[in-house]
Amino acid sequence: MSNETLLEVEGLKTYFHIEGKVAKAVDGVDFSIDRGETVALVGESGSGKSITSMSIMQLIPSPPGKIEEGAIKLEGKDLLSLSEREMMKVRGNDIGMIFQEPMTSLNPVFTIGEQLAEPMVKHQGMNKKDAKKRAVELLKLVGFPRAEETVKEYPHQLSGGMRQRVMIAMAMSCDPKLLIADEPTTALDVTIQAQILDLMQDVKKKYNSAILIITHDLGVVAETSDRVLVMYGGQIVENASAKDLFTNPKHPYTVGLLNSMPDVADEKERLESIPGTVPPAHNFPDGCRFAPRCKHAMEACTEAVPKLRENEPNHHVRCILYEDQGGEKE
């Protein structure tokens, strides 16, 4: 592990056992995140992005879910070996998470100030007065000019964008080493989305933390990320710098995602969506999981799941088309 590595996910498998079937939501995922890095996890709905992040946080509903295999190391320490009590500390102090839907994550009966202060008292042992002061500071940091007033307000008094800012303040309240944001902006309009993402970058710089941003929207990725992990059928199919991924995409799925991206510069261009749908996690095809939708598919594709290989320096791809080029051999 280099000094810069913050999080390492190795061979992660998270399955759901339901009515005699096994849904392989996350099925052998490997990646790492360096300090100061913004990494995006992208893929269509149902590809296993949220279950990956919830596995890192160990918030998988169990049963029916279970982390079957793998390691999740934060600064070299395997989180999967921790007790629930120790893991609660990690959630309170080391990793902050912003969930998809802000209204469900804020409690309607407590003020914004109370909800921000509570985890600081609980996890960091702050007294109530200091926690209240810090709540005001955090709200200012995330762009509430009248933060002294905002702490006294209730969630329903704020707009969706404002509530999402509160969620960021809350996730940042422990100065986390890693901020995980699961589709943090999908419910928001485009201008607010851009503001929220800028804000996350500012906060990241201030604390030298890392961000894992989960999104199905590649447009978001281009603006904000250093590196991109493309996920399909519970597996990473491509891992490259954002620049490489946009200029030199390799996996046919990545190419499909890029082609289905609206191009603001050329309004007339027709979008080409990827035919078919993500296979259900309890019924993956044999071989490459994307093969049934892939225009390059050949017989060999249905025989074995391709390995994720380093095709060019720091550019990994899981596709038989690239197996003869570069990378290590089995």
Ligand X SMILES: Nc1ncnc2c1ncn2[C@@H]1O[C@H](COP(=O)(O)OP(=O)(O)O)[C@@H](O)[C@H]1O
In whole angstroms, the minimum distance from the beta carbon of 50 to ligand X comes to: 3
217 CB-near residues (< 8 Å, 6+ apart)? 42, 186
Contact partner at residue 61 from Mg ion, ligand X, none, CB < 5 to 8 Å by partner kind: ligand X
Task: Please report the beta strands in the chain, taking only residues with DSSP state E, as ranges in sequence order.
Answer: 5-18, 21-34, 38-42, 65-74, 77-78, 95-98, 178-182, 210-215, 227-232, 235-241, 309-312, 315-317
Closest distance to ligand X from the beta carbon of 233 (Å): 9
CB of 214 to ligand X, least distance (A): 7
Peptide linkage before 119 cis (omega within 30 of 0): no
Q: Could you tell which of ligand X, Mg ion, none binds residue 162, using a CB distance below 5 to 8 A set by kind?
A: none
The site for ligand X (CB under 6 A) is made up of 16, 18, 23, 25, 43, 45-51, 61, 64, 280-281
What is the DSSP pairing of strand 38-42 with strand 210-215?
parallel
**Exposed/middle/buried for residue 262 (C-beta within 10 Å: 0-12, 13-18, 19+):** exposed
Q: Write the DSSP symbol of residue 189.
A: -
Which lies closer to Mg ion via its Cβ, residue 47 or residue 224? 47
- Judged by beta carbon distances under 5 to 8 A according to partner kind, the member of Mg ion, ligand X, none in contact with residue 279 is none
Q: Rounded distance, CA 116 to CA 132, Å?
A: 8
Residue nearest to Mg ion (CB): 50
Q: Which C-beta is closer to ligand X: that of 275 or that of 280?
A: 280
Q: Give least dist CB 122 to ligand X, A.
A: 27
CA distance 161 to 178: 22
Shortest Cβ 68–ligand X spacing (Å): 13
Tell me, residue by residue from 40 to 59, as one string, x for binding to Mg ion by CB under 5 A and - for no binding: ----------x---------
* Comparison of 117 and 231: residue with beta carbon closer to ligand X: 231
Residues near Mg ion, by CB under 5 A? 50
